[in-house]
Amino acid sequence: MDRFTIGKIRVHRIEEWRGTFSPPGELFQGFDADHWRDHEEEFTPDYYDPASGKLFAFLQSWVLDTGDQRILFDTGAGNDKDRPDLPIFGNLQTDFLDRLAAAGFQPGDIDTVVCSHIHVDHVGWNTRLVDGFWEPTFRNARYVLPVRDRDYWDPLVETAGPGAIGTLVNGGMFEDSVRPILEAGRAEWADDGFEVAPGLTLHARPGHTPGSTVMRVASDGAEAMFVGDVVHHPAQIYCPEWNSAFCEDAEQARETRRQVLGEAADREALLIPAHFGGEHVARVVREGAGFRPILSPAI
């Protein structure tokens, strides 16, 4: 689903990359093969490739056009980024900006960039390489970044930082995709309750990273929740105790996931995760003490 509306807000999905990522048993901490088999058929072929035994993943951004503002949520992995410990997203040469243009937007049209959290595959197109230097891609935009991720990911700040996996796969990310935004004076640090635009608010939902943030959108009686990496895959709606291997605070991530799924179900809000295949969005309903995804929802 590449174009839809949330009330009066027009939403455009901009795809950067798609492919198989990892087997479910490697991505999910707490993975239970029996629970997986209960739903494997449902996840095939849009979310799981049985031939390779790997999950499908997408890197995708979302442009929300309110009529007055154009807001870009998450910016993928970017081109030309050296990622020796995460080569699947290293030195990419994608046509992301051409796809943005095909949706009707040039980089200069974007008023606000919102990053759900500071991770390698959510801040990449913040910058692009110009004559050997990293420059803001969206030159007219303010970049709204989660303040609780600021010191945690900045290698120049001597505070408690990421664990071994986070440090490894995000090597170089802050230097090429965040610091140039700070040096250009384009960053605005946001905390819980920050209003991006009328009807668009940010809510701290930590665990995946300290600053992991959900953007709640309300317009004309409709609601949606852009949840970043709180949920990577529909399996986590059935099994919210399954963290990804990239969650920084395991117990907090599980608690947050249950909270967000409950909010989506109770508010009847469209769930818009960062990496879903299929229709790329879902609805969530309560089922007993747990949850069930509706993967081809009516918008």
pLDDT of residue 216: 98
Tell me whether residue 107 is in a domain: yes
Is residue 289 over pLDDT 80? yes
299, pLDDT greater than 90: no
- Distances 89 to 34, 73, 77, 169, 288 between C-alpha atoms, Å: 31, 19, 6, 10, 39
Write out the two tokens for 201.
Answer: 């608010």
Cα 54 from Cα 250, distance rounded (Å): 23
> Considering the domain boundaries, does residue 299 fall inside one?
no
What integer best gives the mean pLDDT of the chain? Answer: 97
Residue 141 lies in a domain: yes
Domain of residue 150, CATH code: 3.60.15.10
Asked, for residue 16, whether it belongs to a domain, the answer is yes
Q: Is 115 a member of any domain?
A: yes
- Whole-angstrom CA distances from 2 to 60, 61, 278, 279 are 10, 11, 11, 8
| Helix, strand or coil, per DSSP, at residue 245 | coil
Has residue 273 been placed in a domain? yes
pLDDT of residue 159: 82
- What is the value of pTM for the model shown? 0.97
Residue 297 pLDDT level (bands cut at 50, 70, 90): confident
How many domains are contained in the chain? 1
Structural domain boundaries enclosing 103: 3-294
Q: Residue 12, Cα to own-chain centre: how many angstroms?
A: 15
- Higher-pLDDT residue of 277 and 296 is 277
DSSP per position, 41-98: HHHTTTTEETTTTEEEEEEEEEEEE-SS-EEEE---S-SS---TTSGGGSS----HHH
Per-residue model confidence (pLDDT) at position 110: 98
Q: Which residues contact 130 (CB under 8 A, 6 or more apart)?
A: none
| Alpha-carbon distance values, 36 to 14, 20, 190, 267, 281 (Å) | 30, 17, 37, 27, 20
